[in-house]
C-alpha cells in the first residue's frame, strides 16, 4: 500500500514539475490539491499538521525533481499506474460547456472542476468525455463529440 501511495504521489508531483518553472501560475499546489479528498483521507494526510504537510510538499518536489525521469522510464509500478489513468463517462445534463470554474458532474459519480481558464459553448446532446493525463501529468477532459479539451482537477 505504501509503495502504491508513493508511486501515485510521485506520478502526480512528477507531472507538476515542468509547470513549477513557469512561475506563479505554475507553482506547486501541494499534495492536498493534487489528490481527491478521498485519496487524501485514505492516505491519512488529513492528520498532518500544516508544518508536516509543508515538509511533505517540499520533500515531494525535491524527490521528484531528482528521480522523476528515471522512475518514469524504469519503475514498473510507476509506469503501470501512469498508463492506467483513463476515465470514460458522460457529463450529466444540463451540460452547456465551460466558462471558468465550471464543475462537471459525471454519470459515474465523479465530480471534476475546470482548472484552466477558457470558455466553450457546447451544443448537442452527446456529453461523452474522456479524462486522461496530458504529457505534463495534469488531468484533461476531452468532449468526444467536438474534441474540445480543458484542464480539470478531481473534486470527488
pLDDT in tens, 89-113: 999 999 999 998 899 999 999 999 9
Count Cβ neighbours within 10 Å for each residue of 47-85 and write b for 16 or more, e otherwise: ebeeeebeebbeebbebbeeebeebbeebeebeebbeee
Domain boundaries along the sequence of the chain: 2-83, 86-154
pLDDT score, position 18: 40
pLDDT score, position 9: 54
- What distance in Å separates the CA atoms of residue 141 and residue 96, rounded to the nearest whole number? 15
13-34 average pLDDT score = 55
**Best CA proximity match to 5, nearest among 62, 37, 45:** 45
Q: Distances in Å between the alpha carbon of 23 and those of 20, 85, 148?
A: 6, 27, 27
Neighbours of 139 (CB within 10 A): 20
115-125 average pLDDT score = 92
- What distance in Å separates the CA atoms of residue 137 and residue 16, rounded to the nearest whole number? 7
pLDDT band at 82 (very low <50, low <70, confident <90, very high): low
What values do phi and psi take at 128, rounded to 5?
A: -70, 135
- Cell numbers 463517462: residue: 89
- What distance in Å separates the CA atoms of residue 67 and residue 117, rounded to the nearest whole number? 31
Higher pLDDT, 110 or 83: 110
Amino acid at each position: 500500500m505504501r509503495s502504491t501511495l508513493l508511486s501515485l504521489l510521485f506520478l502526480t508531483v512528477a507531472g507538476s514539475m515542468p509547470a513549477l518553472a513557469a512561475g506563479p501560475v505554475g507553482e506547486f499546489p501541494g499534495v492536498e490539491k493534487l489528490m481527491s479528498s478521498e485519496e487524501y483521507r485514505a492516505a491519512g494526510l488529513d492528520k498532518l499538521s500544516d508544518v508536516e504537510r509543508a515538509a511533505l510538499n517540499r520533500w515531494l518536489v525535491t524527490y521528484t525533481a531528482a528521480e522523476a525521469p528515471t522512475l518514469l522510464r524504469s519503475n514498473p509500478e510507476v509506469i503501470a499506474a501512469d498508463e492506467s489513468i483513463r476515465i470514460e463517462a458522460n457529463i450529466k445534463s444540463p451540460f452547456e460547456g465551460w466558462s471558468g470554474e465550471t464543475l462537471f458532474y459525471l454519470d459515474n459519480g465523479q465530480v471534476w472542476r475546470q482548472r484552466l481558464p477558457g470558455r466553450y459553448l457546447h451544443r448537442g446532446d452527446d456529453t461523452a468525455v474522456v479524462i486522461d493525463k496530458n504529457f505534463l501529468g495534469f488531468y484533461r477532459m476531452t468532449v468526444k463529440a467536438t474534441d474540445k479539451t480543458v484542464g480539470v482537477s478531481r473534486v470527488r
